[in-house]
Amino acid sequence: MLSNYEVFKLLTDLKEQRKDSGKTKHAAGHQNLNTIMYETLKYLSKTPCSRQSPEIVKEFLTTMMPHKLTKAEKLQLLNHRPQTAVEIQLMVEESEERLSEEQIEDLIETVAGILPGDPEQENPASADADMDEGTKET
């Protein structure tokens, strides 16, 4: 199983290698691969994984060790960065039986504290701030 960060990093590195090697974009038989790489990178760049690093992933997984979650559940939390109890319930099988409300709140705090946020949610606020500054100057 690969995290979204690992896929994003792999495709980014692959893209750089192809650019450095001077291979043309339209090499025979590679058009489908180019399309898949482009679409996947485009999607992943709009998700929190684009702001993750190996250190963040390691810290997150280390912090998750005491929680009795499966590898797949930890991967879901890492990839989707849940912010509410409902989201946790959707990602953790039988969460009502396995986790207390305190444990769910602890998971939400851990996710929010370690994993970077969604770039699309943060950009509009900074764009608004830039616009406010621009209107102050005029």
| Per-residue pLDDT tens digits for 72-83 | 999 999 999 999
The band of 23, judged by pLDDT with boundaries at 50, 70 and 90, is: low
The reported pLDDT for the residue numbered 88 is: 93
* Closest among 52, 55, 97, 100 to 77, alpha carbons compared: 52
63 and 104, same domain (yes or no):
yes
Residues 79 and 93 in one domain: yes
In a domain, 17, yes or no: yes
Q: Is the pLDDT of residue 71 over 80?
A: yes
Together in a domain, 17 and 57: no
Q: Where do we find the tokens 């370690």?
A: 114
- The pLDDT > 70 percentage for the chain reads 79
Looking at every residue in the chain, the average pLDDT score rounds to: 82
The residue segments making up the domain with residue 85 are 53-114
**Same domain? 97 vs 108:** yes
Q: Is residue 128 part of a domain?
A: no
Confidence of residue 20 (pLDDT cuts 50, 70, 90): confident
Domain count, the chain: 2
127 domain residue, yes or no? no
The residue to which tokens 């482009």 are assigned:
38
Q: CA-CA distance, 58 to 122, in Å (whole number)?
A: 24
Q: What was the pLDDT predicted at 15?
A: 87
**Tens of pLDDT, residues 79-129:** 999 999 999 999 999 988 999 999 999 999 999 999 887 655 544 444 444
